[in-house]
Chain A
Amino acid sequence: MNLNKPEPIVGGSGPDSDVVVSSRVRLARNIAGFPFVNKASDPQRHEILNMVRRCRFPEKTASDMIWVDMMQATPHDRQLLVERHLISKQFADESSPRGVAITSDETISIMVNEEDHLRIQSMVSGFGLQDAFGSIDEFDRQLAESMDFAFDERWGYLTACPTNVGCGIRLSVMLHLPAIRMSNELDRVKRAAQELHLAVRGSHGEGSEVRGDFYQISNQVTLGRSEEELLDDFCLKVVPALVNYERSAREKIMDQKPELLDDRVHRARAVLQHARLLGTDESLKLLSRVALGVCLERFNDLELPDVHRLFLQIQPSHLRSSIGDPQASDETLRIARANLVRAALSGTG
């Protein structure tokens, strides 16, 4: 599988990209007449997979869709897809019949036989939930002309987990919140999010840890509210409020503790430019500070998308791909990671 050719969605570009790394809309759908995936037999799972492969995708995406049969994919390829947010970790680890379809620009992907028969995802860089929803909504309408989705008048789209029933929609934004964390105000954000029925998670969704000050905020309510209402809440209230909160926290640090800020971002860059061995977690933490420094114009020779690209390139499977050794040991990766980051940040500083 060659995932190096298309330009991945790395963040650092698009509206409000100083805080919003990426925006994602996911729809959960099940095909009528089949049990949910956890109760489906392998022949049924194969049948579902074949139905999706046979169905008519919208013309503009059908021609450039890549199909990945997860049964044939190597552990290395699976991990590549996880790192790129195109499949979930749970989906990568399963061993039953399942597959994923991905458009060449990676804006739309369809996991087949994850928790639900179909998990359709649209992702864009920066704050672009409306755009992401627009493309996935049209995609969903066209899919519904090829297959009958399990739907009930009262419950809406029927999903394996009742927490997704109704619209089956999950809106999420990946936020970079280093200043809120430095100001020790994350708990306030989490409490406010909880009151608004929003989930705050690590960068890889449910069950993932927070790394590099990246937080995924998503809706938990999918029943009793329409897609448009949920979208309006996110686009007009939740995300602008969080973006302003982070920007205010950044300004406050710049006003009140400029030396502390400068020390943190320059020290982070210095370590990254001179280290000879780098682990993933350490790199993420330091790159997060460099990204903050770029946003606050501390580094004139770096662009935000270049730093965000590094967040992806330093991940183990992407690194193994770039050095052409899918079996590379952790020690080899630590050396390769340090070399990669040092080369990328070798400006004048």
Chain B
Amino acid sequence: MTCDHCDKPAVVHEVIIKDGQKQEVHLCEEHAAEAGHKIPVQAPINEMLTQFVSANVPGGSKKRRQGAKCASCGLTFTRFRKTGILGCPECYKSFDKQLGTLVSNAHGGGTHHVGKQPTGREGLQERKAIRQKLVRELDDAVASEQYERAARLRDSLMKLDTEDVPGKPELED
């Protein structure tokens, strides 16, 4: 992603919600410095992540933001903002909305895992391919205002996402 003011790569990404309107700001190192952002040349990645989280929590009141809490381990999103460390695997589901943009920006735009699967999960590759196809079709349906078809595709996606994930076979003792 390039800077809003020049062609250099953006290193600062801000999402500002004002009067219910979302505005995205992307700045290169130089323009970020001009705008008063402090960007260390090589900050430890955890530090950069923490800065990003602190600066870019999407919308909502302070109380509402603090309310986001993982039901499994009890970690609050506020606490995550301070440490950059999650409490348990379930946190990824609990903070799904907040983590989406944040993680994608930290990974150069990556949003989904495309690498190796643990042994016994190879069937997931097929599910992933089906999912990608459904998402593409849903986008097309929405773009061409075929809302009934879009609703069917959305239901198919929801069904796919809530189906049991095939796990690895039980191990013998």
Contacts and interface: CB of A to CB of B under 8 A. Distances in A.
A197 B104 CA distance: 13
Given A141-B119, A150-B89, A224 B108 contact: yes
A145 B119 contact: yes
B107 A161 contact: no
Contact of A223 (B84, B103, B119): B103
B168 A166 contact: no
Nearest to A150: B89
B114 A224 contact: yes
A57 interface: no
A163 B45 contact: yes
Main secondary structure of the interface of B (DSSP, over half): loop
Given A160-B85, A221-B108, A155 B92 contact: yes
B134 interface: no
B92 A158 contact: yes
Interface string A95-113: 0000000000000000000
A305 interface: no
Given A146-B171, A165-B103, A223-B110, 7 more contacts: A36-B87, A141-B119, A144-B118, A162-B92, A197-B107, A223-B107, A225-B115
Main secondary structure of the interface of A (DSSP, over half): loop
Interface residues of B, number: 46
Given A148-B168, A162-B102, A167 B49 contact: no
A222 interface: yes
A97 to B, nearest CB: 18
A247 interface: no
Contacts of A149: 118
B88 to A, nearest CB: 4
A94 interface: no
A154 interface: yes
Closest 10 CB pairs of A and B: A224-B110, A156-B113, A223-B110, A39-B87, A35-B88, A150-B89, A223-B107, A167-B115, A226-B115, A144-B119
A349 B119 CA distance: 56
Given A152-B89, A225-B115, A227-B115, A163 B49 contact: yes
Determine the interface band of chain A, counting residues with CB < 8 A from chain B. Answer: 35 or more
Contacts of B41: 187, 190, 194
A153 B114 contact: no
Interface of B: 9, 11, 41-42, 44-46, 49, 72-73, 75, 83-89, 92, 99, 102-104, 106-121, 124, 127-128, 165, 167-168, 171
Contacts of B86: 36, 160-162
Contacts of B102: 162
Given A153-B124, A153-B128, A194-B42, A35 B111 contact: no
A115 B85 contact: yes
Contact of A152 (B85, B88, B92, B167): B92
A199 interface: yes
Contacts of A232: none
Contacts of A34: 88
A130 interface: no
Residue of A149, A153, A220 ringed by the most chain B CB atoms within 10 A: A153
B73 A190 contact: no
A162 B165 contact: no
Nearest to B80: A162
A146 to B, nearest CB: 7
A224 B87 contact: no
Contacts of B121: 151
Residue of A30, A115, A155 ringed by the most chain B CB atoms within 10 A: A155
A255 interface: no
Nearest to A227: B115
Residue of A115, A156, A220, A226 ringed by the most chain B CB atoms within 10 A: A156
